[in-house]
Amino acid sequence: MRPSLFSLFQRSRYRRTLEPSEDLEDDDASEDKWAQRERFAVAAIAYCLKNDRDFLHHFVRNVCGSLGEEDSDKFDVLIEQELWGDLALIKRDETAAYVIECKISAPLRPHQNPSTKIFWREGYGRHILAHFPVGTQLRYIVLGFKPKLRVKKGPRIDCTQKWWDALERTTKSPLILDLYDSLGKLGVTRFRSRITDTMKKAATVENACETYEVLRSAYEDLGLAEGRFLADILCDLNEGWWDFGLAIRTTRREADPDYFHGKLQRAVGSTGAQIGWFGYSQQDRKSGVCFSVWFFCGLKARRSLEQRLKKNPLTRAYVQPHRADGSFEVRMPKNIAEKTISSGDKDWFVRVIRIAAGA
């Protein structure tokens, strides 16, 4: 795998795990997934702003809509500042401040939306006004949210809406080209077309559907809760790595002794929104396809889970601890996994997950 901004995402907690939360409904879980991608996208943009002067100048002029001929070198770049935005560019003398709220697919909440009264009364608008002194030129930019906003006029803050194409510029900078490619892989459709413009894949759609059905069938055979999964697919076509699988979400019925989903959750000890992930994975074209199952375990369950996985003959040689986030992955090359199953691929996934659950 070559180093890139997106490879950092692929190796980070953002790749699969969500922030610890209550048991979520489908829409909320999907929103959390996109929120994590948006947070990483904001961090990547901020890094490029800090390290590419031409990109910073372009951003101040085209995204922020510079309020004057401002020197972009005089701005501090901040992420997730206070309670009022993803990204902030603040002039060091506080004569001007731009606050940017970035959206890929997550909704724009009322406290983030300058079209609502909540924004001004108790949301970002109120916090921005409280933070900056009178006399600071303030602008709040919603970046990437597709529906057209009807912005309400409020005190002191100039609110506007921009789309992702405002970020793009003709450049030969490897860092900025990497940013554009990474944003496309994170789900920004404006930049995804850089990768997919010449693709013709109608002939292989049926194979993708069959792969999805194998994973769905494994999920159902395990007796996991209906609807408590998310399709989770990531790829870098240039580098040749990809993951195609299902994320297993947590449940409130953890204590039910007759409920396999709860039993698995107790065995893994997950403290986040997902118990694990299973599917097919390829790290690079040379290593080839692997069968893979991830378990996002809590601290208390980590040792016992590792012991169960390493004790079983099927999994013992293929357990990979990920020390950075405490997760475990059972990863087996396709040619070896196929020798361990008597029927279809789903048999391997079902066996590994039952081993982890102690079933």
The amino acid at residue 222 is: L
Statement to judge: residues 226 and 313 lie in one domain: yes
DSSP element (H, E) containing 37: helix 26-51
- 85 pLDDT tier (thresholds 50, 70, 90): confident
Statement to judge: residues 163 and 267 lie in one domain: no
pLDDT in the model for residue 25: 43
| pLDDT over 70, % of the chain | 84
| Cα dihedral 191/194/195/198 (nearest 10) | 140
Statement to judge: residues 107 and 64 lie in one domain: yes
Domain count of the fold of the chain: 2
Statement to judge: residues 72 and 158 lie in one domain: yes
pTM (predicted TM-score):
0.57
Is the pLDDT score of 157 beyond 80? yes
Residue with more model confidence, 308 or 13: 308
Residue corresponding to tokens 């108790």 = 122
Statement to judge: residues 189 and 127 lie in one domain: yes
**What is the distance between the alpha carbons of residues 246 and 252, in angstroms, rounded to a whole number?**
19
Decide: 126 and 120 in contact? Cβ < 8 Å.
Answer: yes
- 129 pLDDT tier (thresholds 50, 70, 90): very high
Residue with more model confidence, 198 or 297: 297
Any idea what the CATH number is for the domain that residue 208 is in?
Answer: 3.30.1460
**What is the distance between the alpha carbons of residues 330 and 312, in angstroms, rounded to a whole number?**
12
Residue 215 sits in which domain range? 202-357
- 26 pLDDT tier (thresholds 50, 70, 90): very low
Statement to judge: residues 12 and 109 lie in one domain: yes
Tell the burial category of 29 from Cβ atoms under 10 Å away from its Cβ (0-12, 13-18, 19+). buried
pLDDT in the model for residue 4: 62
Q: Buried b / exposed e across 214-234, counting CB within 10 Å, b at 16+?
A: ebeebbeebebbeebbbebeb
> CB neighbours (10 Å) of residue 50?
12
Statement to judge: residues 161 and 27 lie in one domain: yes
Domain boundary among 137, 161, 194: 194
Domain boundary among 178, 194, 210: 194
- Structure-token pair, residue 156: 């002191």
- Provide φ and ψ at 241, rounded to 5°: -110, 150
Is the pLDDT score of 277 beyond 90? yes
Statement to judge: residues 226 and 274 lie in one domain: yes
Of 43-57, 67-81, 169-183, 289-303, the least confident: 67-81
Residue with more model confidence, 197 or 60: 60
Please give the angle made by the CA atoms of 191, 196 and 200, to the nearest 5 degrees. 165
Statement to judge: residues 253 and 347 lie in one domain: yes
Residue with more model confidence, 198 or 212: 212
Task: Mention every residue, 6+ apart, whose C-beta is less than 8 A from residue 295.
Answer: 268, 270, 275, 276, 305, 327, 328, 329, 356
Report how far apart the first and last C-alpha atoms of the chain are (Å, whole number): 36
Residue with more model confidence, 289 or 359: 289
Statement to judge: residues 218 and 182 lie in one domain: no
Mean pLDDT of 304-323: 92
Domain boundary among 140, 170, 194: 194
Statement to judge: residues 82 and 153 lie in one domain: yes
pLDDT in the model for residue 20: 35
Number of helices (H) and strands (E), helices first, in the chain?
A: 12, 11
Statement to judge: residues 190 and 273 lie in one domain: no
Is the pLDDT score of 199 beyond 80? no
